[in-house]
Amino acid sequence: MSALNPSGSIRRRLVVQLALITALLSVAFFLAIRVVAERAATDTQDDILAASATSIAEAVYSDRGDVRLELPYYAISMLGTISEDRVFYRILVDGQTLTGYDDLPLPSGRPQGRDPVFVTAPYRDDNLRSVLVSRTLSVGDQARRVQVVVGQTRRGLAAISSKITTTAVGIGAAFFLVATALSVFAVQNAMSPLDRLAQSVARRGPNDLRPVTAATPAELVPLVGGLNSFMQRLKSALNRSEDLIAEAAHRVRTPLATVRTQAEVIYRQMERPENKKALREMIRAVDESSRSAGQLLDHAMVTFRSDQLETQQVAVSDLLHDVVDRLSPTAELKDIQVRLYVPDTPTYVHGDAILLQNAVRNVMDNAIKYSPPDTEITVRLHVDTMCRISFIDQGRGFGQADLAKLTKRFSRGSNVDDVVGSGLGPTIADDVARAHGGRLEISSNAKGSGACVTLVLPLS
Amino acid sequence: MRFLLVEDNVKLATALCNRFAMEGHVADHAATLGAADDSIRTVAYDMILLDIMLPDGDGRDFLRNHRAKNDPTPVIVLTARSEVSDRVGLLDLGADDYVTKPFDFSELEARIRAVMRRLGGSADNTKAFGDVVFDSTTGQLTVAGQTEQLRNREMRLLEVFFASPGQIFSKSHLMDRLFSFSDDVSENAIEVYVGRLRKKLEPSRTMIETVRGLGYRMVKLK
């Protein structure tokens, strides 16, 4: 797991990017609303100003060589429909102010025919939007140029504009929030097949090497395909190693069996004690190597199987009966009595029957090996919150200092140099117990000499 | 007893057959399952010793067929496979027991004896000498009408004397019979077991006599 290189979350990246895009869109949206709204407001004002100025210009007339004006009331009042802003006007005839505010500036620029000219300029501490409308008035045979300037302050318009801005901000923000929420939802939705796939891979046990069959989005097909073929290869590699262990055992044991049997035959035919002694040493060496090889392979198999327990309900009493029956002939060779005590009610543990049997057999085997002749080994099944299988012998026991390290691989007691052994027996039993959530307890026999080894397993 | 040894490794098979001969048994060797079938058809064996990996098939198939034919001949499997992988399956297939190679011959003998005992033994294993009757399969000793169960080592020791009453057996020969190669015992250890047998034979007119400097022999009191 340490090799994992997490590089951020796709989900977060998607959400952040979508939110950024949404924010940009919101700002653009806001700006567009503002520009359009202000343009609309200005256009409206301009239209009314132009209408007002035109109607004033129309109201200029000639009267016996004089230029007169009858200011129409509605020309001014129509400007009130927009806002309560102040209105200024100035009427010029041939550049001379006829009436109105003298200092009202004329929009610069030449009016194109009758088209009004607009300008925004400061006037009397205020911002003024003004329009200039020109017409030619015939007075007698003279053509007089009439210019009408109408201006209006922009306070109302500013208020409208700020209201529009506020609204635009609100709409932009709402758009941002809704769009972001929708994008989070969409990302969630798009990611859900990925989550389901990840969960279905994470949920499987460490030994589950079946191919992943959860619904796979097209983009992940190469990844999941790679994973499946990897698991397939792993599975066949594991199967191969199981076969290899079995094959190795076969290859090692068969020649050793030949050597041992031939040595025994020769041993029986020998007379000289020194030759017999030498051959006995040889046979012991063969035993030692075959036992070590056997236990190493057993240990490999236990380690291998512990990684993929084939669990079932195991009746502990039956298992103990089997192992005791099986090892009794070996024990009897040394006149060792094996006594088995099991409760009447059946006890079950959830586990791998072959491994549990192997563990029990290893502990029993050790007890027989280290027990002197004419002794007893007591095997007792005791059930409290756990299932406890105790093996109590009357052998030499363990030296006090050794107890802790006996389950370590190849560690043997300090007082056993004269017995053939590899020290793997307790390790195998301990490994099996641990793989089942239990433990191996080793102590000296409470009553008198000997050892007490207890295999503690959780009840099912 | 007559054994059929089904084993493809010729060297191992030869050594084992020799070893059986030393104990006064007859062992026929079959190197293939086919040869084993032929032997079974012509000879009645007391027991079959079966290897698992054979050139012309799997010993487990042989075992299955053997059981399907209701042949009562007991089978002990000699396996070289890993203990963890297929031990359990062997007994399920109908083997009476199994031994993992390499094995101590006395271990194999003990298992043969245990299987024979479980199957009820046979009359041939009961031998009488004087007023003593001894069953070498069950280890029962009948002295003056009283039957007593001998312990394993006592039984194996008495078996040697019963095989050839009157013959002198050296201490070292008896030691070889009684103790395994891993037992580190002095020659005096044999005296303990001879002592026990003497005590059990006390009510009878049979005794184990010390022949100074040579060993022991079983004789009838005059």
CATH class of B2-118: alpha beta
Which residue in this structure is represented by tokens 């923000």?
A173
Is there a contact between A420 and B22 if contact means CB atoms under 8 Å apart?
no
pLDDT, tens digit, 9 for 90 and up, residues A30-89: 888 888 888 888 888 888 888 998 899 888 888 887 888 888 888 888 888 767 788 888
Quote the CA–CA distance of A147 and A304 in Å, as a whole number. Answer: 106
Higher pLDDT, A245 or A190: A190
CATH architecture of A310-460: 2-Layer Sandwich (3.30)
Contact B75, B118 (CB under 8 A): no
Residue B158: the pLDDT is 93
Give me the interface pTM, i.e. the ipTM: 0.85
Pick among B14, B51, B101 to test the A interface (most A CBs inside 10 A): B101
Does A365 lie at the interface with B, CB-CB under 8 angstroms?
no
CATH architecture of B125-220: Orthogonal Bundle (1.10)
pLDDT, tens digit, 9 for 90 and up, residues A314-344: 999 999 998 998 899 999 999 999 999 999 9
Q: In chain A, where does the domain assigned CATH 3.30.565.10 lie?
A: 310-460
**pLDDT value at A1 more than 50:** no
Who among A298, A329, A330 is closest to B84 (CB)? A298
Which amino acid is residue A293, in one-letter code?
Answer: A
Residue A222: the pLDDT is 92
Decide: residue B95, CB within 10 A, 0-12 exposed, 13-18 middle, 19+ buried: buried
Quote the CA–CA distance of A44 and A366 in Å, as a whole number. Answer: 107
- Residues in B whose CB is inside 8 Å of some CB of A read 9, 11-12, 15-16, 18-19, 22, 53, 78, 80-88, 97, 100-107, 110-111, 113-114, 151-153, 172, 176, 180-184
How far off is chain B from A283, nearest CA to CA, in Å?
7
As a whole number, the mean pLDDT across chain A is: 84
Global pTM?
A: 0.67
Using DSSP, state whether A303 is helix, strand or coil. Answer: helix
pLDDT, tens digit, 9 for 90 and up, residues A185-223: 999 998 888 888 888 888 776 667 788 888 888 888 998
Is there a contact between A254 and B101 if contact means CB atoms under 8 Å apart?
yes
Quote the CA–CA distance of A15 and B222 in Å, as a whole number. Answer: 111
Query: What residue in A sits closest to B154 (Cα-Cα)?
Result: A335
E strand or H helix at A69, and its extent?
strand A66-69
Domain A12-163 has CATH 3.40.50: no
Who among B16, B88, B97 is closest to A354 (CB)? B88
Residue B119: the pLDDT is 83
Q: In chain A, where does the domain assigned CATH 3.30.450 lie?
A: 12-163
Q: In CATH, what number does A208-308 get?
A: 1.10.287
How far off is chain B from A223, nearest CA to CA, in Å?
35
How far off is chain A from B191, nearest CA to CA, in Å?
15
Which phi and psi angles does A395 have, rounded to 5°?
-85, -155
**pLDDT value at A380 more than 90:** yes
**Domains of chain B, residue spans:** 2-118, 125-220
Higher pLDDT, A217 or A424: A217
